[in-house]
Structure 1
């Protein structure tokens, strides 16, 4: 078998390697005195995809989990024509933009996993995806070992522009400006990438660092769901609501971040204010809910709202005894 050739399901061969995505570690932005060595990109709230083509005008998309996604996003097929004659492997993120031009993961979820041709064609009209391309790993030859800045220059030279894909710019050495720009643009956060970093497939590398924006919110606890295993009998998650003029609106469950001690304390507090019905004005899509009088206030952090009005990536921070009324 020739180098960089891989077997396909059709028992043929593709003139490019199968490459798993390089992953970023979670952490703060590099310190200001170190930022000259780093590039800063927007962190897109979407689905990671490896995009490859043998150069024959077709294109293939594979998710981070290794699932085939080509048929799911038919509006990306014309990208293959721009790469005709150039066997290529690219890295990117598939997003759906809302009316303000901001990524909305809730809208993207309506597209994910759909393979029926009629349905994908209809969804492509209603919720068109946009492919954000931010790296190249192969273009006629492997460039995995090339530094980030060289790969980005090569990516820009490919001239990839279309109605459903683009190659957004990055900035060098300006972490604070990138952070503030992402805040203004409603972007999920910033990814810092060392300018000299090679592309290491499948590795969560400290050479790439992602930093998300977090929003702090006080929520009303209107119930809880029981934990499993060692948490049996204790709250596994609380059911959070936001007070509105029409009543308490359910916005999601929060379990991440709770310590064992906090779970025991919550079990004691919630045990003295049970309620025989839901205190929320809207449906609660969980099973086994225990309702409680909406007296406890908690502070949480989260990364944004879904299109269904639910908290995205909520994390428990603390109970707010200064706002809580148990008497």
Structure 2
């Protein structure tokens, strides 16, 4: 297998209960962008996100692999985060992730500093290490990574319940519990890694908008079902978007307006709504699902580059 050919990283499954046993460790679940760093040992470094999209240009701080890793060749797995007052901000890291202009990227390097939180290694010095245990892979990371201002190793914690309470107290997204004996399954997702969230989130499709004084002030959100039908799940006008973001969105959506409602059912708050082509996707935090399959207290976090048809009910 070509080590620089993008792979699909291992994913944890969602759980309502924490696992028990000495074979489990816990790590903070950072609210950032899952990123794999590929270094071929010669001169090519690539950054590829979980969906297989190239992000090498967006994070120049991570391209000099030898400044933080002494491996001859390597694939690292981790999360790119942006901190605001000590807490990770998905909205801020997406401002970096969405940039395409070299000039804008250079400016934002100073304005929005990022940290790469490394938690795994897949390939090391010409060999795949995915068949080794997590304990062995973490020993490799300890030997090859030198932390700096932009690169850190994600620490382990043995007290899962305590870490979960700390994450909840500080309003962090949650924790990931991992079996220290687990191998790394490429394109896998099973109970060897378990995530428990404090904050529920969903990537939703924008199918409608409302205006106040000529500027968009709320989004109408939806998810697709197995038949490809878009169902309305809520109406969100609060969150991380600033006045300038709403103004840019107003301009962007002018060419997306359509007469046809994209949702299967008529939303409760449809009066004054304008329908748009369901092409934009957005990450939303929410309190819980209601009995009618809508979101309680949805809060907009950031727009994301995920194909709308991938936004489905689980």
Q: TM-score, normalised by structure 2?
A: 0.66
Larger Rg: 1
Total equivalences in the alignment: 244
Q: Distance in 2 between matches of 1:17 and 1:190?
A: 29
Distance 2:116 2:100 in 1: 18
271, 274, 277: which is aligned to 1:287?
A: 274
CA positional deviation for 1:202: 0.8
Answer yes or no: is 1:79 the counterpart of 2:52: no
Distance 1:82 1:236 in 2: 46
List structure 1 runs of 4+ shifted beyond 4 angstroms: 222-230
* Deviation for aligned residue 1:46: 0.8
Structure 1: where are the runs of 5+ without partners?
A: 7-13, 216-221, 243-262, 278-285, 290-305, 320-327
Which residue in the other structure is 1:252 paired with?
Answer: none
Change (3 A) 1:20 1:129: same
Looking at structure 1, the residues matched to 223 and 184 of structure 2 have their Cα atoms a distance apart, in angstroms, of 40
The answer (yes or no) to whether the contact 1:29–1:209 under 8 Å persists in 2 is no
1: CA distance between counterparts of 2:51 and 2:291?
34
In the other structure, the counterpart of 1:96 is 82
1:64 to 50, 54, 58: 50
Gapped runs of 5+ residues in structure 2? 201-216, 239-263, 277-281, 293-314
**Alignment-derived partner of residue 290 in structure 2:** 317
Deviation at 1:186, TM superposition (A): 3.2
Q: Which protein is richer in strand relative to its size?
A: 2
The C-alpha deviation readout for 1:32-64, integer Å capped at 9, x for no partner, is xx2322110111111111111123465321011
Distance 1:228 1:84, change over 3 A: closer
C-alpha displacement of 1:110 = 0.8
Alpha-carbon distance in 1 for matches of 2:79, 2:138: 15
Scaled by the length of structure 1, what TM-score is found? 0.64
Q: 1:239 aligns with which of 235, 241, 244?
A: 235
Contact 1:56 1:84 in 2 (8 A): no
CA RMSD between the two structures: 3.7
1:80-125 Cα deviation digits (max 9, x unpaired):
4333552011100111111x21111111111113232111111111
